[in-house]
Structure 1
């Protein structure tokens, strides 16, 4: 693992998601304007990737490319240099509508390469849709972040990288703590890390996300193991069991505190882009 002091940690903030509402936590940013303001605060607190979903006028999840375009433009203006990652997740649309924002050429986009159970439904990612999304990401030079809800998803990403459907070494994010999917299990987590390094190389960057009460636990596991971490109101609306998070920035500050606990620097946006092999923006 090496000296953690020499390994800046990328903090990703998942600002909104498809499920949390103002009723769950008034700080959840729903409108594009709220999302931009919340992201700017999180950026200033240390987040260098923003994972984005958008909502319609009723606050329901959507894959509307125009909404994504408005959000992307605002983030580029107010958070110069921050890595913009758009979601192609299945709660926001169906079929190829899930990738309708990829022609906007964001820095990154999420890519789930297999199906799994969610709390009340199957999160369906059929092989033909996965291949189409991956093809669009290659066309528009968008780096995929592999959303690994299961070990098989890491192995499938390796197959897709080997046969050229994924252009660069995948950036894999372990998602743990989703009900009916993979729980936050330390032995499994350690095997995920082992598998990613075995398949893609010891120096490959990887990330982990914990859902709900698992968020802080996964932040600690990832940061202390040399990986990168995700936080934000999409995954967890609380600071602790009794306290709602006042903002996305507050959750980012918690992750930054964990970095300090393990003597890891928080990555700047320049370092994050270098670690992930992303182009530097001309106007930042």
Structure 2
């Protein structure tokens, strides 16, 4: 990223996505963690009111387990739409959490046809020989006007994705990339410096990038992303704390803290209309 790019990033909107639950945590981790479609819809409405432009949805089955069931996704999407209207981009996930094979992850995208979807590179295309699966899925997304976001969990993922972009296995200008800092197991908290190698090496290859961070340094990581021209995903999926380390009351409190940190750094917060424009999914 050049100095001109960095200067221009200061005047472009920074988008906040709320990730309210993930597929692992339960109400034993936090009583305000949403599990049902109605609870996710309430989070969407509250998070939108304090700055979120997108909700990153996970759904659960009747036993509370992570699910990629298309019917559950349709129910959750409808609930969010009823609660927040067009003011929230709704992104589903294909995350496997050890339950779903790559072809099953692809199948849910084709069945639901959401306006946006996130997919982990190491799950959708775990090997070099899986490049065609990813390429074909991205072609489907383009044809159906679905905004794809590819997750890079570490520098190895980021480097492989960049290599495929340079080799034109994928159209890099079609995708958003999500860089992850920290992890569940072993429990590791992210630091802003974790993202610098990934962002500086390949962020300018893609249409846009976003970061998500485990732990209370989440807001600081989001500010770094915004200053470098990227965006931020925050919420109970990765972090249950406020920037000072105290427990957050709910997802909206995490989003509000992130928005406050971004605006204090001189950044502006973008809304769902601007995000859909960036991702080319207006009218979805």
TM-score range, shorter chain: 0.7 to 0.9
Structure 2 partner of 1:154: 158
Cα distance in 2, alignment partners of residues 199 and 69 from structure 1: 33
* Structure 1 segment 135-214 matched on structure 2, within 5 A: 135-140=136-141, 141=144, 142-161=146-165, 162-166=167-171, 168-178=173-183, 179=185, 184-197=190-203, 199-200=205-206, 204-214=207-217
Deviates more, 1:134-143 or 1:60-69: 134-143
Structure 1 partner of 2:283: 281
Q: Which runs of no fewer than 5 residues in structure 2 stay unpaired?
A: 1-5
TM-score, length of structure 1 as denominator length:
0.84
Cα distance in 2, alignment partners of residues 256 and 198 from structure 1: 24
Residue 108 and residue 156 in structure 1: after superposition, are their counterparts in 2 closer, same or farther (change >3 A)?
Answer: farther
What is the deviation of 1:130? 6.5
* Structure 1 segment 1-20 matched on structure 2, within 5 A: 1-2=6-7, 5-20=10-25
Other structure's SS at 2:280 match? coil
1:51 and 2:56 aligned: yes
Structure 2 partner of 1:98: 105
Structure 2 partner of 1:250: 253
Other structure's SS at 1:19 match? coil
Structure 1 partner of 2:3: none
Cα distance in 2, alignment partners of residues 48 and 127 from structure 1: 34
Cα distance in 1, alignment partners of residues 209 and 11 from structure 2: 16
What is the deviation of 1:206? 1.3
RMSD: 2.7
Structure 2 partner of 1:119: none
Number of aligned pairs?
271
Q: Retained in 1: the 8 A contact 2:153–2:180? A: yes
Residue 4 and residue 163 in structure 1: after superposition, are their counterparts in 2 closer, same or farther (change >3 A)?
Answer: closer
Cα distance in 2, alignment partners of residues 248 and 198 from structure 1: 30
Structure 2 partner of 1:25: 30
Other structure's SS at 2:273 match? helix
Residue 133 and residue 226 in structure 1: after superposition, are their counterparts in 2 closer, same or farther (change >3 A)?
Answer: closer
Q: Retained in 1: the 8 A contact 2:91–2:116? A: yes
Deviates more, 1:158-167 or 1:254-263: 158-167
Q: Which runs of no fewer than 5 residues in structure 1 stay unpaired?
A: 116-122
